[in-house]
Amino acid sequence: MVTEEKIGNNIPLDGAEGHVTGTSEYVSDISKIENELIVDFFYSTEPHGEIINIDLEEARKISGIVGLYTYKDIEGENKFGPIIKDEVLLAESILEYVGQPIVIIAGESKKAIKLAKKTIKIEIKKLPHILSIEEAIEKNQFIGETRVIERGDIEKEFQKAEYILEGNTRNGGQEHFYLESQAAIAYPQENNTLEIISSTQNPTEVQNVIAEILGIPFNKIVVKTRRMGGAFGGKETQATHPAAMAALVAMKTKRPARIVLSCDDDMITTGKRHEFYNKYKVAFTKEGLITALKVEFFSNGGYSNDLSTSIRERAMFHAENAYFIPNIKTIGKVCKTNLPSNTAFRGFGGPQGMLNIESIIEDIAIFLKIDAFDIRRLNCFGIEKNNTTSYEQEVSNNTLPELMDKLLKTSNYKERHKQIEEYNKNSTLYLKGISFTLVMFGISFTARFMNQASALVNIYTDGSIQVSTGGTEMGQGLNTKISQIVADEFCVEPKTVRMMITSTEKNNNTSPSAASASTDLNGTAAKDACQKIKTRLIEFASNYLVKDNSEHKPSINAIEWTYDGIYDKRISNKKITFKELVKNAYLNRISLGERGFYATPQITLFDWNTGRGKPFLYFTNGAAVSEVRIDRFTGELKVLRTDILMDIGKSINPGIDKGQIIGGFIQGMGWLTTEELKYSEKGELLSHSPTTYKIPNIQDIPEVLNVDWIENGKNVVNIRQSKAVGEPPLMTSISVWTAVKHALSFISNGEIPKLDAPATSEEILKAMSRFPISMKV
């Protein structure tokens, strides 16, 4: 007998067995079919310049080279972009970054392509370039409009403030480091149509952009995505370019065309997390109550907008993080530089916004000589009052105080804080630090229209089920969670539900799988489809179950649908299985398929003129305590212990959610400690491989890592009272960075230590060297 709900169980990740045995198919695993071409591209080695001449003569002569295409070969539009149409697939007259594609190369072999690349000659007239945010500010080079959110009167508050601190913070970019690089295959089909297999979070955008580049209607392109070997935001918009290159080749040659970027080229040519430089001024009382804050965010957008303006907006929405600041003004600008266009990365600007305020609070604590925890507790959003954000969205069902109080106890923070003070007094080799930070992350796409999803549910006559949604699987467990939701709607085992390949021909006009909201959106759409079918099946069952019974008339209210079977409660000895029910429904011509739809309720269109709106359906919250140790001579950092406590509502799959929390935290730790993007003066990425770009490995993981979440069934606005979990845990890693700051404060003689992110050993050493050595030997 199976009576237990499938929601809340640790069903293994859909496809996990294939992943570990090597049978799961990624784009480069798909068998080559006859005639297939390899696609690659020749890219700019200059950060800024004018193309004087492109010489392809020698390349054309190479045997095995089938096609060489420049922007002139594009029959549709060479201009696109998710927000502003300011991107080109292939450079026209101006080159804007090192890595910018100029010529698409189609060949029979990698060898031929390699040779062709050596012979292509591009004559370039160099133009002055800029790489840094500072230069862009100086030259007034921005993308899009400036955004402002303002509440209260900061200037008045600054005038009467007890204390004011002013300064800046900086955090670096981050490479996505997905294990599967950008990849796609285009198959030409009859009547000038194409089928594309793409490793993308966003099949619809790949479809639309390809159609526009080829100058044909959207319905001539079908894009399919089985899964990605990781994406992390890097395939929300930037999977489009390689797919479009393959599509162009397939259309021109009528041959299948496959592109798989080498890991180095992927790192060199695609965008990353945005580097941010922020100026701030904060007013506070002697108790550490923040009364006013002004923040100016400057992000490094790269050469085009991509999602930069939207990412900057999310940074602004999270400028205050989990703290109520009565007078606040945030200004956000995107800088245009000669780098690849930066893009979505787990957190989507949220981490950059939060790091700034968490850094400010750590500084206030050092300045006032108060435990930073007490300052955070004092300023944390309240339950009844002090519970509206700078843009005046109410923080409802606020679990932050509960998280703070619980984690304070379970982490033994206060005691350890004291121990660290003692330890540092006597330690000559190491310094320790501890920090407790919060996360309050808004869930919903900040662009209202994107918060919609559809799903297709088909039941077969043997009772097995297929589900298709616009959501894509990148390892985050979306498909597993949706199969659990569907299984639970029909009271069947999740293994009877098969999640189908994501395809634009099954679900149209889909949003990317992003903003952590994929289960919320696609799961609810799937549930909608299930409920429509269920309504028909209940009606059918009400007739079917009384058909040989003269005592009872059909009644849908009498139907009980359980894991044990479906029955009429008045005749409970006659139970039928789901399989029997659907088989008989089919014989009686009841439709066993349905399309479901969901549009997130309650959220409003954000008004940027007033800086007001309700962009988020709810917030996912978290708290973290990290203890670190730094080597006073080398700057080496070790994270000794981290405790994370989240509010993820009622978990649909605790195993997967725990994986997301740990993975998010570690990925964030990489961003803030070891991952550093280094460029040459020309804007060539120097750290373009694992030998020069350091992501966390097993030795970097905290020696003690405790992960837990609170029981919260109050998030009734979302499916099964769950909360999105994909991105929020990344920001628990901020506790590691602020703990470094705390450690440094023990040798800074009361001064606020200046620390940028990432806090690499080099950066920590630099920070320490600013203070005279005061060592007891």
Nearest residue (CB) to ligand MTE, 49 versus 475: 475
CA angle (84, 87, 88) in 5-degree steps:
150
Residue 498: CB minimum distance to ligand MOS, A? 25
Indicate the residue whose CB is closest to ligand HPA. Answer: 515
89 and 101 Cβ atoms separated by less than 8 Å: yes
Positive or negative: CA dihedral 92, 95, 100, 102: positive
Catalytic residue among 57, 727, 751, 762: 727
Q: Return the biggest CA–CA distance within the chain.
A: 97
Nearest residue (CB) to ligand MTE, 201 versus 399: 201
Query: Under the criterion CB under 6 A, does residue 346 sit at the interface with ligand MTE?
Result: yes
107 and 42 Cβ atoms separated by less than 8 Å: no
Query: Under the criterion CB under 6 A, does residue 348 sit at the interface with ligand MOS?
Result: yes
Coil vs helix vs strand at 109: coil
Residue 516: CB minimum distance to ligand MTE, A? 4
Beta strands 593-599; 618-631: pairing state: unpaired
Phi, psi at residue 118, to the nearest 5°?
-70, -25
Residue 229: CB minimum distance to ligand MOS, A? 15
Residue 574: CB minimum distance to ligand MOS, A? 49
314 makes contact, choosing from ligand HPA, ligand MOS, ligand MTE, none, with CB < 5 to 8 Å by partner type, with ligand HPA
> Distance of CA 757 to CAs 86, 271, 630, Å?
30, 19, 15
Neighbours of 581 (CB within 10 A): 23
Q: Respond yes or no on whether the N-terminal peptide bond of residue 47 is cis (omega within 30° of 0).
A: no
Tally DSSP H helices, then E strands, for the chain.
20, 29
Nearest residue (CB) to ligand MTE, 232 versus 490: 232
727 is catalytic: yes
503 and 203 Cβ atoms separated by less than 8 Å: yes
Nearest residue (CB) to ligand MTE, 197 versus 380: 197
The residue from 16, 263, 447, 640 that contacts ligand HPA (CB under 6 A) is 447
**Sites for ligand MTE among residues 617-676 (CB under 6 A):** 660, 663
Coil vs helix vs strand at 233: coil
Neighbours of 689 (CB within 10 A): 13
The residue from 514, 529, 530, 559 that contacts ligand MOS (CB under 6 A) is 514
13 makes contact, choosing from ligand HPA, ligand MTE, ligand MOS, none, with CB < 5 to 8 Å by partner type, with none
Query: Under the criterion CB under 6 A, does residue 239 sit at the interface with ligand MOS?
Result: no
Nearest residue (CB) to ligand MTE, 361 versus 724: 724
**Sites for ligand HPA among residues 295-354 (CB under 6 A):** 307, 310, 314, 344, 348
Query: Under the criterion CB under 6 A, does residue 598 sit at the interface with ligand HPA?
Result: no
Write the single-letter amino acid at 116. Answer: A
Nearest residue (CB) to ligand MOS, 331 versus 515: 515
Query: Under the criterion CB under 6 A, does residue 739 sit at the interface with ligand MOS?
Result: no
438 and 742 Cβ atoms separated by less than 8 Å: no
Distance CA 542, CA 545 (A): 6
Coil vs helix vs strand at 92: coil
Distance CA 590, CA 230 (A): 40
Query: Under the criterion CB under 6 A, does residue 233 sit at the interface with ligand MOS?
Result: yes
Indicate the residue whose CB is closest to ligand MOS. Answer: 233
Nearest residue (CB) to ligand MTE, 62 versus 443: 443
Query: Under the criterion CB under 6 A, does residue 236 sit at the interface with ligand MOS?
Result: yes
The residue from 345, 441, 490, 578 that contacts ligand MOS (CB under 6 A) is 345
Residues in the chain: 777
Beta strands 502-503; 221-225: pairing state: antiparallel
Nearest residue (CB) to ligand MTE, 450 versus 755: 450
Which span sits near ligand MTE by CB under 6 A: 240-248, 509-517, 707-715, 748-756? 509-517
Q: Which of 427, 443, 486 is nearest to 652 (CA)?
A: 486
Phi, psi at residue 467, to the nearest 5°?
-125, 130
Residue 472: CB minimum distance to ligand MOS, A? 10
581 and 541 Cβ atoms separated by less than 8 Å: yes
Distance CA 757, CA 742 (A): 14
Distance CA 605, CA 618 (A): 15
- Show the binding pattern over residues 210-249: x = contacts ligand MTE (CB under 6 A), - = does not: --------------------xxxx----------------
Residue 512: CB minimum distance to ligand HPA, A? 6
Which span sits near ligand MOS by CB under 6 A: 8-16, 279-287, 341-349, 593-601? 341-349
Query: Under the criterion CB under 6 A, does residue 474 sit at the interface with ligand MTE?
Result: yes
> Distance of CA 313 to CAs 159, 183, 733, Å?
28, 30, 21
Residues forming contacts to ligand MTE in the complex (CB under 6 A) are 230-233, 346, 474-476, 478, 513-519, 660, 663, 724, 726-727
So which residues are the catalytic ones? 727
Residues forming contacts to ligand MOS in the complex (CB under 6 A) are 201, 233, 236, 344-346, 348, 514-515, 727
Residues forming contacts to ligand HPA in the complex (CB under 6 A) are 236, 307, 310, 314, 344, 348, 445-447, 450, 514-515
